[in-house]
Amino acid sequence: MKFGDWLREKRFEQEWTQNELSTRSGVPQTTISGWETHKIIEPSLKHLIRISDVFSVRLADLPLDEIFDSEGVEESATAYKQS
């Protein structure tokens, strides 16, 4: 599953609009739309951290295999949060 498809599915489960997810996560609505339509395929680490926090999932559990090595993302996120 692609990240944008996963995001849309999780957002629908919560019955949130893109604007609601944007407000809750701090990720711009245009970025969320870009992910869901596959126009943006490389999410920034900062935004991934915010999305994982909103949905209470570990970064390594996000469907990012087509973009990143999941273990590397988790390590980078830990370093980012500590800085």
| Domain boundaries, position 69 | 3-82
* CATH at 44: 1.10.260.40
Confidence of residue 67 (pLDDT cuts 50, 70, 90): low
| pLDDT at site 68 | 58
Count of domains observed in the chain: 1
Q: pLDDT (tens digit, 9 = 90+) per residue, 2-11?
A: 899 999 999 9
Interatomic CA distance for residues 79 and 42, integer angstroms: 19
Q: pLDDT (tens digit, 9 = 90+) per residue, 24-49?
A: 999 999 999 999 999 988 889 999 99
Confidence of residue 1 (pLDDT cuts 50, 70, 90): confident
